[in-house]
Structure 1
Amino acid sequence: MECFRIDESGYTGFDLLNQEQPFQGASAIAITDDEAASLIREHFPKLQAPELKYRALSRRKANHPRLLALMRDVLTHHKCATHLCNKRFLLLLKFLDYAVEPFYYERNLDFYKNGQNYSLASILYYVAPQLLGEQAMASLERAFQHAIKVKTPAALANLVASVRQTRWQALPEAMGPLAHFAAPECLAAIATPGVTTDIALEIVIALITRMEAMTDGAYRVEHDQSKNLLTYHHLLQQQIDHLHHAEFRQSKIASIRFPLKLTAVTQVDSKSSPAVQLADIMIGAVVEVAKRLSNRINDGLDPQAVLSLYAADQLIHMLPSLDIEGQMAFRQGSQASALIDYYAKHFSG
């Protein structure tokens, strides 16, 4: 049975405003340990470390050509998908999910139609600091993250106050439900047990979507035993155990169908799994590229050299974009609202 090996990078749980790790993602590679070990020996024949680690290798410029050659071989000869998220953008999407959308739902308006929530989140990401006030917007984001974590009346009241301290009239579509109405349906959604800003589920769904598309039959997943991946393990197992029949269109190129072809998920020690180590290389390089392109760091692999290795369907992302027409065309006909309702019904908690 085909096996995808998975590793992640940038996981900080509920904290999507972590300055040190602004990006989160994961890679999945269909490769055997023997094939992975052979690739590692070919590209790093003098490696002395017990485990291949991207961070350790990328620090030395002499390793950069070898890393690029290794990645090229993986992407050319093996099924592979990498998913990258901008964590602040995901926090703003969650703000729209819980602090805005319930207001429209109560009025029979489809807030998610053609992915317009992604467009509005992109506007919030790029424009809101200037439009609503930079410090006020930063305070709002912290207040929302805190409120959704602790769910106390005081935290919810502080969130409403934070929204009202912005120049919210400049963007009433997003800010009005809390600023003008303190919408009880929105506050109730934020206070719902199990609702969180953790984005591991979004990454799991994205990887599953690609793995399901890349396989014709049953497959399994192996991942490292790290504490961070315990969350991914639980979420993957939930998807495997779900035997209902359902299908949802997510975008022009993505859909998810239950039951999955994924049949098992197991944990392994990455030190004894060259395949998992290659997954670490793939996600480590993409996260580093994102940091370089956003001017957070100035060392590491050349971003264009890395991105040129990927085919369009090998690198998926949730990043803000002001190409509003392109965003909406990409998600035209999306069943996002139905999918969110389905997950709330079947996978909550």
Structure 2
Amino acid sequence: MECFRIDESGYTGFDLLNPAQRFQGASTIAISNEDARRLIREHFPKLQAAELKYRSLVRRPGNHPRLLALQRDLLTNYKCVTYVCDKRYLLLLMFMDYAVEPFYYERGMNFYEDGQNYALASLLYYAGPTQLGREAFDKLLAAFQHAVKDKSLAALGALVSAARKTRWRELPEALGPLAVDACPECLSAIATPGVSTDAALVVLQSLVSRMEVMVDGPYRVEHDQSKNLLTYNTLLQRYIDHDQQIEFHQSEIASIKFPLKLTSVTQVDSKDSPAVQLADVMIGAAIEAGNILTGQRTAGLDAEAVMSLYADHQLIHMLPSIDFAEQQRFRKGTQAAEVINYFAAHFHK
């Protein structure tokens, strides 16, 4: 049975505002440990360490050509997908889901139609600091993140207060539900058990949706041992066990269909899995490229060279965009509302 190996980078738990970790992501590769071991020997014949780690290798400029050549081999000859998201943007999308959409839902409006939530989150990402007041906007996002985690009446009240302290009248479509009415449906959604700003499951689900397209039959997944991914094994197993036949369209290239072809998800020690080590190299390079391209860092692999290795279907990115016409075209006919309702009904009880 085909096996995909996964590793991730940039995880900061519920805190999506960590300035030192702007991006989060994961890579998955369908490769055997035998092939992985062979590639490591070919590209790093003098490697003395017990484990191939991107962070250790990239420190030496002499390793940079080898790291690029290794990734070129993987992306050319194996099924690979990398997912990268801007965590601040993802937090804004979550704000749309819980602090805005319930208001419109109660009034019979499909807030997700043609990706309106993505467009409004992008607008907030770029214009929010200027339109709403930079300090007030930052405090609003911090208050939202805290309210989702804490779920207390005090935290919810602090969120409403933070919304009212912004120049919310500049963007009432996004902040009005909290600032004007302290929308009870929105506050209830935020306080719902299981609702979280932890992005790990979003990342993993995105990879699963793409892996489902890349395989013709049953497959399994192995990923590195980490506390955050262990947390979701039970939920992922519920996805695997879900046998109702249904399919949802989410964007021009993304859909999800049950039952999944995925049969199992297990954790392994990366020291014992050369294939997982290669996934570490892939995601490490992609995250670093994102940081370099946005000016967060200056040293590392040539970011443009890293990105040029990827074909369009091999890279999933969750990044803000003010090309609203393209956003609308890309997400036209999305069933995002149906997906959220279905997942809430079947997986988050």
Q: TM-score, normalized by length of structure 2?
A: 0.98
Corresponding residue of 1:228:
228
Matching residue of 1:183: 183
- How far apart in 2 are the matches of 1:322 and 1:294? 16
Q: Tell me the residue number matched to 1:193.
A: 193
Question: Partner amino acid for 1:205?
Answer: Q
1-side partners of 2:264 and 2:169: how far apart? 50
- The answer to whether 1:284 aligns with 2:284 is yes
| Distance across 2 between alignment mates of 1:154 and 1:79 | 48
Q: Which residue of 2 aligns with 1:209?
A: 209
Question: Aligned-pair distance for 1:90?
Answer: 0.6
Q: Residue 140 of structure 2 aligns with which residue?
A: 140
Counterpart of 1:332 in 2: which secondary structure? coil
Q: How far did residue 48 of structure 1 move?
A: 0.4
- Alignment RMSD, CA only? 0.9
Name the TM-score, length of structure 1 as normaliser. 0.98
Residue 161 of structure 2 is matched in structure 1 by: 161
Deviations 1:15-38 (A, max 9, x none): 111122111111110000000000
Q: Secondary structure at the match of 1:286?
A: helix
Offset from partner CA, 1:63-82 (integer Å, 9 cap, x none) = 10000000000000000001
* Residues 204, 235 of structure 1: 8 Å contact kept: no
Q: Deviations over 1:270-296 (max 9, x none)?
A: 101100000000011100011111111
2-structure distance, mates of 1:187, 1:241? 32
The answer to whether 1:238 aligns with 2:219 is: no
* 1:80 match: secondary structure: strand
Aligned residue for 1:126?
Answer: 126
Aligned mates of 2:58, 2:232 — CA distance in 1: 26
Question: Which 5+ residue runs of structure 1 have no aligned equivalent?
Answer: none
- Specify the SS of the correspondent of 1:139: helix
| Percent sequence identity over aligned pairs | 66
What are the superposed Cα offsets for residues 69-118 of structure 1, whole Å, 9 maximum, x if unpaired?
00000000000001011111011111111010000000000000011100
> Are 2:129 and 2:135, in contact at CA under 8 Å, matched by a contact in 1?
yes
1:112: which partner in 2? 112
- TM-superposition CA deviations, 1:134-175 (whole Å, max 9, x none): 000000000000011101111111100100000000000001
- 1:245-260 paired onto structure 2 within 5 Å: 245-260=245-260
Contact 1:4–1:28 (8 Å) recurs in 2: yes
- Give yes or no for contact 2:200–2:229 (8 Å, CA) kept in 1: no
Distance in 2 of aligned mates of 1:289 and 1:41 = 25
Structure 2: unaligned runs, 5 residues or longer: none
The Cα of 1:265 is off from its aligned counterpart by 1.3
Report the Cα offset of residue 223 of structure 1.
1.1
Tell me the secondary structure at the aligned position of residue 312 of structure 2: coil
2:267 is matched with 267
- Between the two proteins, the alignment pairs up a number of residues equal to 349
Distance 2:307 2:182 in 1: 44
The one-character-per-residue Cα deviations of 1:203-224 (angstroms, maximum 9, x if unpaired) are 1221011100000000000111
| Contact residue 251 and residue 331 of structure 1 kept, 8 A | yes
* Maintained 8 Å contact 2:9/2:287: yes
Superposition deviation, residue 232 in structure 1: 4.4
User: Which AA in structure 2 matches 1:166?
Assistant: T
1:316 aligns to what? 316
